[in-house]
Amino acid sequence: MVSYEDAAARLRDAYFKGPVPPLRDVLAPTDAAAYEIQAINTRAWLTKGRRIVGRKVGLTSKAVQAQLGVDQPDYGVLFDDMAIASGGRLSAALIQPKAEAEVALVLERDLSNRDATPEDVAAATAYAVAAIEIVDSRIADWKITFADTVADNGSSAFFVLGDEKKKLAGLDLYTCGMALEVNGALVSLGAGAACLGHPLIAAAWLARTFAALGEGLKAGDIVLTGALGPMVPIHPADFVEAKIGGLGSVSFTYQDGKA
């Protein structure tokens, strides 16, 4: 039988050698043991000098949860080398990248309450910014289950944070609209309510989950709270910009690292 260590190595190799088949030989489609594979790779990346700067919440859409046969979100790790400056260039040899617009929170206080509420998250947050997450599955053709995407660090790749840092007071993150454009063309629409009912609800789920693991969230952590609308494929030379009501805009240009 394939071990979790072997499956983790398979995913790490995929970053450099190309996508791999779904992990059916080691994980059932909804197997939460996939987090063990994610953790193995997190430890491996840390030994290579990468640094954790936050966490991402995924599967915040009820439709996507239903598609993958689960009733809760998932999470992944954000590393320092995944950050792209707003207005900057993403130059990387990605496999099958897609972009989605999100609300990002930056914490000013630790959050380790096992019963954390959205209000607790708001109290611990320094500011919110518009964000774009670039996702990229190491599983061939995006044929993922819940277990595949969890093991694959939430299908993460890179993220971009906007420059407009907004205090939560006075922000409406429930009805705020989102427009995602690629090369000036509108490709995705959404709203804060599409993210598990509210971005702060998604962040509170994450806080409770990590508190239960005995870790909690830390001051300074970046939290990507989840997509506000459908993710869209991106291609080399694309200029991608997201605009979120109350938070301004965030953008990047995708330059294929193989070019």
Domains in the chain: how many in total? 1
Nearest to 228 by CA among 27, 57, 11: 57
Per DSSP, helices labelled H in the chain are 4-17, 34-47, 62-68, 118-124, 146-151, 199-212
Separation of alpha carbons 161 and 221, rounded Å: 13
For 170-180, letters b (16+ CB in 10 Å) and e give ebebeebebbb
Separation of alpha carbons 69 and 103, rounded Å: 25
Range of the domain at 122: 4-256
pLDDT digits (tens, 9 = 90+) for 197-250: 999 999 999 999 999 999 999 999 999 999 999 999 999 999 999 999 999 999
**Sequential pLDDT tens for the chain (259 residues):** 689 999 999 999 999 999 999 999 999 999 999 999 999 999 999 999 999 999 999 999 887 888 788 888 999 999 999 999 999 999 999 999 999 999 999 999 999 999 999 999 999 999 999 999 999 999 999 999 999 999 999 999 999 999 999 999 999 999 999 999 999 999 999 999 999 999 999 999 999 999 999 999 999 999 999 999 999 999 999 999 999 999 999 999 999 766 4
Return the structure tokens found at 208. 């409770």
Separation of alpha carbons 198 and 116, rounded Å: 15
CATH number of 183's domain: 3.90.850.10
Question: Is residue 195 within 8 Å of residue 228, measured between CB atoms?
Answer: yes
